[in-house]
Amino acid sequence: MRHAPDRFTQAIAAIDRVNMEDPGTEWLDGAPVPRGLAYGRRMTGWVERLNPDASQALRLAARAQHIRRWEIPRDRYPGGRDGYLRWRTHLKRHHARVASEVLADIGYDADTIARVRDLLRKRGVKTDPETQTLEDAACLVFLENGLVDFARKHDSGKVTGILRKTWTKMSEAGRREALQLDLPEAARALVADALA
């Protein structure tokens, strides 16, 4: 007789089902998959690498970091820094709300749900080790999987500025991992230039 999967396994599967609804696609492990699913798996991989003893709340937050992101595209907000910050604030609340609903449906307790919500809203970044781990993972996913495409779409000044901001957001552990990434030569040059 097979046992029912535990609550954590059920929650990861439920988050993945939501992420699979993303209409965008990316290549992951040699196959096209929904963008949200690829992102969640990459976040999980980095969180587990940065903190093998990560709590369930942190692992759940990593998987749900971009849950239903496609529902709030950047172009719904004005250009420039102000519009970008408003968009990011809205996204954090959106991800936290959707993740909370998924976890409540699985039967998670209010304290775990509140913790996941706080992590997704980046409460205590730089002071809360788990929030910082989540931030490091997001930065590493960007550097490893998003930098080349971002650099193609933006001028070098903007790319340099974003890389410097990314570096500032990361902990020393995250920066050490970033320096070890196997980036294409062009991306490696961009990082070196930004850090010079």
> Residues 57-113: pLDDT tens digits?
999 999 999 999 999 999 999 988 899 999 999 999 999 999 999 999 999 999 999
Q: Which of 93-97, 135-139, 142-146 has the lowest mean pLDDT?
A: 142-146
With 60 as the cut, is the pLDDT of residue 4 above it? no
* Over residues 115-134, mean pLDDT: 95
pTM of the model: 0.92
CA distances from 8 to 11, 24, 59, 94, 125 (A): 5, 26, 9, 21, 24
With 70 as the cut, is the pLDDT of residue 5 above it? no
> Residues 22-47: pLDDT tens digits?
999 999 999 999 999 999 999 999 99
Under the banding of pLDDT at 50, 70 and 90, the label for residue 2 is low
% of the chain at pLDDT higher than 70: 97
With 50 as the cut, is the pLDDT of residue 1 above it? no
> Residues 150-175: pLDDT tens digits?
888 888 888 899 999 999 999 999 99
